[in-house]
A and B are shown apart, each in its own frame.
Chain A
Amino acid sequence: MKKLLITTMAILFASSIIFAQSEKFTQAMKKNLGAMDSSFRNPADLLKLANSFERIASAEKNQWLPYYYAAFCQVNLGFMEQDKSKVDAIADKASSLIATADSLAPNNSEISCIKSMIASCHMMVDPMTRWQEYGAESSSNMEASMSQDPGNPRPYYLKGQGLKYTPEQFGGGCATAKPALETALEKYATFKPATELHPSWGKEIALQLIATCK
């Protein structure tokens, strides 16, 4: 009886640690996700947020989400960076983070989205000469994302966004962007993230983009 009690106590104690640990994780992640919108307004804040996600990631080596968000912040920093000569290094940083996320959660539609964004980020440094390599990489990841989770609206949003900024002569512009964005919005309407920590971003920007096409 005493032995059983000890065992039970031990189990309870252990699970409370796990619970406390995951509670700490959830709280930290929630805090960061809450800061997401405001951080996007300036690169310094976004870098702080990226570093903060990375800290959580390096303490919770088995969770893919902090790596995912750290990479997401980094790639957006890359898009914001005005000095094109610095962009590749930022995108490479995002790449190494998403690679870790990928090894923790293989064949994940959300991770493929980030990979597609990273390729676009490299391409934007010099679209003229990099289109061939990085354009193909971006679209293959976008397609992978669509097939890995047909319900995920984000690859469609990325596709629409890409087309919106491609010149009409090259098959871009509102005419082709709009259907993709509409598909994205349909999917946003039904998409439910697995937990409150899972990715759910993009709907607002998709709405803004489609508004400019009316």
Chain B
Amino acid sequence: MSGRITDNKNKPVAGASIQLKNTYDGTTSDSLGYYLFITEEKGEQTMEVSSGGYFVVLLIVVLANAPIVQNFTIKEQITELKAVVISAGSFEASDKNKGAVLSSIDIVTTPSANGDVTSAFKSLPGTQQVGESEGLFVRGGTATESKIYMDGNLVNNFFYSSTPGIATRGRFNPFLFKGTVFSTGGYSALYGQALSSALILESTDLPDRTQADLSVSIVGIGGGIQHLSKNKKSSWGVSFNHTNLWLAFNVIKQKQDFFKIPIYNQGDVNFRIKTKNNGFVKYYGYVSANNTAFRSPDIDSAALKNAFELSNLNIYQNINWKDKIGNGWKINTGISFSTNKDDLANETQDANNKKVIVTSPAFYAFKNFDLISNSMYAQARLVLEKKISGLSAVRFGSDYFYSKEKSTYTLYNGVKFSEEVKDKLYAAFVESDIYLTNSLAAKIGGRLEHSAIINKWNIAPRVSLAYKLAANTQASLAYGIFYQNPERKYLPAIASLDYSKASHYIFQFSQQTKDYTFRTEVFYKKYDKLYKTAPNNNGREVAANNFGYGYAKGIEVFWRNKKTFKNVDYWISYSFLDTKRNFLNYPAAIEPSFAANHTASFVFKRFVLPWKTGFNVSYNFATGRPYYNIAYDNASGKYLINDQGKTINYNSMSFSINYLPNLGKKEAKTFAVWVLGINNILNQNQIFTYNYNNAGTRKEAVIPPSRRFVFIGCFLSFGIDRTQDAINNNL
């Protein structure tokens, strides 16, 4: 028997196995795909041709005494390993998935991130270096245009509640998550209500073993237990953290006078159960209470100070079930429930820190207020997926969001204003992954939404295409329409509104091997129906109409290299952004105050084995951002720009050291990681924006609370050798 094995592109397949079934006879094809073997079998036999990554071919042959020549064409299977990755607009941090640009440990070892989940993404292209407020500002979008999801559930208060001029951190421990997809645009139809970006976090499965952790640092103490059951099918965990910045603020002088040092108490519980089909039921519950108060000089009067106080209570819970339910069907369903209470107040004080209410001019008096906000959010979600063939699949499902936000605003004279905003948002979505070959794939989907506040339906198509140009090289395209409701703080509106809308067009070229990643993206984003604001009866700025518009376009480059320099891993990101928008109180389409034209980041990591120490450096740069003094002109009934300018360039270099003294000591029962982190090590002057006084005659730079911050901490794990983790984290 002889012949040749080729694939569907007529290329020879070497190393294919050719066999007469149920006999020993057969052979392996040579480097040109040819085969030859001699058999003494007679009569009707089944020939089987198989090779890794190809569909098996069976053929019945009748053997007599004469030689038989039989050629075979075998068809390539579409496998995750070979298939193109639909990646336009998204960065993935994961340890398993192909196409991930960061590993999960990168999130905690990037020094500029300070162990904050979202901050590591600020070293990737597409994001802004905004330091005066929290959140991800993506491709000319505001922070509220980025939404964060945990196991499919929207997390409404992902960050600690805002304080004026100081960016807060994310609430959640980065070690809760095993994988993160950060989409800078063109994201999946499974998510909505975000004009710019979706950050999709996936929680960890079962822990590798039972362990107890303790941390002690300059900012507080924490401890926790993760318990893995004997049969390794389920686990539970509890943890508690107490953060108190007394020590840090005594050592590092803060610009503000903190008369109540920030204190955060936070606890969480979780359980995870592995099901028969390797599915999971996961529960996560979180509660946090925090309080802070600080004084800062009043911008209008040298004799006054503003004393601001914030206390917050946040509870978040979600439960999810993800499983295979047979016949190629998968289910992913969950509910989440959260409540958030903010109590914030401001008062004017004199030089002796005594409350004074100045009533002339009147605007001084309005600096004295108390605002209590109570909000409640619930979500139910169901996604069903059916595998079609190979990697192709179709998924569809529905989301229901309920929100109730109540606020009571008390003026200096005791007059109260109460408002309640409720929304019910239904969404239905369908999405299909279509793999035509290993080289060509598409993701096509759509999302239908109805929000009670807007009382209209919207339909949002999403399309992504990916084409493999060569083994490690691919090009991708993404297009999508995205809708979003107005922010809570601009509600209730003074007129009926429509959804704000963004259309994304993204082209990506990428080349990725085990040692390096190169990516470049060109994007164009068109904003329509952005919300414009106007003062309501109480003088509060609220949504008034959908006459806003804007655009953002740019080019971004990402390069990561782990190989060229021994033991060194580095990445460089560059983003160019051209954006203008007319929204909120902007009098015309202008460059928004949160957007810099050029942004760049450099992250460098090196682990020195003999010292058991890792050194990490990051440098973030952004050109100056515009700032405006926009004020309402009562005479013309319009907002006007009274003054404007551009800040100085932003430069920040951060440095961190991780020391693992017990590395490699197999008998050690305690594993320790010492961390030293220094922000803005070069002590560079940073100005985020400017605040203006009421008259518009004076401006004041918004700068970080301290130029430099130093973190020293020790993280201990007990009873269990974590050498393997350390190797995992640092090799």
Contact = CB atoms under 8 A, between A and B. Distances in A.
A144 to B, nearest CB: 15
Contacts of B612: 169
A24 B609 CA distance: 55
A51 B51 CA distance: 10
Interface string B52-92: 11000000000000000000000000010100000000000
A57 B690 CA distance: 77
B725 interface: yes
B24 A132 contact: no
B663 A169 contact: yes
Interface stretch (B25-33, B270-278, B338-346, B537-545): B25-33
Interface string A87-110: 011100100000000000000000
Interface string B610-642: 101000000000000000000000000000000
Nearest to A51: B17
A93 B77 CA distance: 15
Nearest to A167: B609
A56 B24 CA distance: 5
B23 interface: yes
B208 A93 contact: no
A31 to B, nearest CB: 10
Nearest to B515: A84
Contact of A55 (B26, B31, B96, B105): B26
Given A128-B103, A136-B208, A58 B95 contact: no
B19 interface: yes
B727 interface: yes
Contacts of A89: 52-53, 79, 81
A136 B23 CA distance: 39
Nearest to B95: A129
A48 B81 contact: no
A20 to B, nearest CB: 13
B724 interface: yes
Contact of B52 (A48, A90, A128, A169): A90
A202 to B, nearest CB: 24
Contact of B22 (A24, A48, A58): A58
A130 B95 contact: yes
Given A55-B24, A132-B208, A85 B81 contact: yes
A171 to B, nearest CB: 4
Interface string B1-42: 000000000000011010101111111100100000000000
A171 B103 contact: no
Contacts of A24: 24
Question: Secondary structure of the B side of the interface?
Answer: loop
Nearest to B726: A170
A135 interface: yes
A54 B19 CA distance: 10
A169 B728 CA distance: 13
Contacts of A90: 52
Nearest to A128: B731
Interface string B95-116: 1100000010100000000000
Nearest to A54: B17
A131 B727 contact: yes
A55 B49 CA distance: 11
A171 B666 CA distance: 7
A165 B524 CA distance: 50
A103 to B, nearest CB: 19
B724 A47 contact: no
A55 B727 contact: no
Contacts of A10: none
B103 to A, nearest CB: 5
Given A44-B15, A48-B28, A58-B19, A136 B609 contact: no
Interface string A120-147: 0000001111111001100000000000
The winner among B103, B725, B727 for most chain A CB atoms within 10 A is B727
B665 interface: yes
A66 to B, nearest CB: 10
Interface string A56-86: 1011000000000000000000000000110
B668 to A, nearest CB: 10
A106 B24 CA distance: 25
B17 A55 contact: yes
The winner among A28, A47, A90 for most chain B CB atoms within 10 A is A47
B723 interface: yes
Contacts of A167: 609, 664
Given A131-B731, A132-B208, A170-B723, A47 B24 contact: no
B728 A131 contact: yes
B514 interface: yes
B103 A47 contact: no
Contacts of A85: 81, 514
A48 B27 CA distance: 7
Nearest to A32: B24
Contact of B514 (A126, A132, A135, A168): A126
A55 B25 CA distance: 7
B664 A170 contact: yes
A167 B663 CA distance: 11
Contact of B664 (A47, A48, A171): A171
A24 B24 CA distance: 9
B717 to A, nearest CB: 13
Contact of A58 (B21, B53, B96, B103): B21
Contacts of B26: 51-52, 55
Interface string B704-731: 0000000000000000000111011001
B728 A128 contact: yes
Nearest to B721: A171
B610 to A, nearest CB: 7
A54 B208 CA distance: 35
A131 to B, nearest CB: 4
Contacts of B19: 51, 54-55, 58
Given A89-B52, A130-B95, A59 B81 contact: no
Interface string A162-177: 0000011111000000
25 contacts: A51-B26, A51-B27, A52-B28, A55-B23, A55-B26, A56-B24, A58-B19, A59-B23, A85-B81, A85-B514, A88-B81, A93-B52, A127-B731, A129-B95, A129-B96, A129-B728, A131-B728, A131-B731, A132-B724, A132-B725, A132-B728, A135-B727, A167-B664, A171-B665, A171-B723
Given A44-B15, A168-B664, 6 more contacts: A48-B28, A52-B26, A55-B24, A59-B23, A170-B664, A171-B666
Interface of B: 14-15, 17, 19, 21-28, 31, 52-53, 79, 81, 95-96, 103, 105, 208, 514, 609-610, 612, 663-666, 723-725, 727-728, 731
Interface of A: 24, 28, 44, 47-48, 51-52, 54-56, 58-59, 84-85, 88-90, 93, 126-132, 135-136, 167-171
